[in-house]
Amino acid sequence: QQQVKQSPQSLIVQKGGISIINCAYENTAFDYFPWYQQFPGKGPALLIAIRPDVSEKKEGRFTISFNKSAKQFSLHIMDSQPGDSATYFCAAHTVRAQKLVFGQGTRLTINP
């Protein structure tokens, strides 16, 4: 019940296209859902985050869509650029547990 399932494992998108990464969870106690971007040799960097009382959040080219009833959320990267090539992790968090539960990660490659 503590798992967050992320798909796909890897994704190749052409420059200018839309990258979509999906995550699903079971634990309804999760109350905060961040996405992290990680480049090789670097730590995860917070990209964007959402609370379950919001259905969509947009920051620049990055959008989180959240479906509370389906217990699913997704990251959309519009106008994908080669610089977006990285590993993306979705995560879920509860204040009470003080824990971040990560998805397994998606390796995104944007072809020029």
Partner 1 sequence: DTEVTQTPKHLVMGMTNKKSLKCEQHMGHRAMYWYKQKAKKPPELMFVYSYEKLSINESVPSRFSPECPNSSLLNLHLHALQPEDSALYLCASSTTGGSRDNQPQHFGDGTRLSIL
Chain positions contacting partner 1, by CB under 8 A: 31-32, 34, 36, 41-46, 49, 51, 87, 89, 93, 95, 98-100, 102-105, 107
Q: CB 18: neighbour CB atoms within 10 A?
A: 13
Measured from the CB atom, the residue of 42 and 83 that comes closer to partner 1 is 42
The distance of closest approach from Cβ of residue 11 to partner 1 in the complex, given in angstroms and rounded to an integer, is: 14
With 0-12 / 13-18 / 19 or more C-beta atoms within 10 angstroms meaning exposed / middle / buried, residue 93 is middle
* Shortest Å distance, C-beta 41 to partner 1: 7
The answer to whether 12 touches 79, Cβ cutoff 8 Å, is no
CB of 48 to partner 1, least distance (A): 10
Largest CA distance in the chain: 44
Task: Kindly tell me which of 42 and 70 has the beta carbon lying closer to partner 1.
Answer: 42
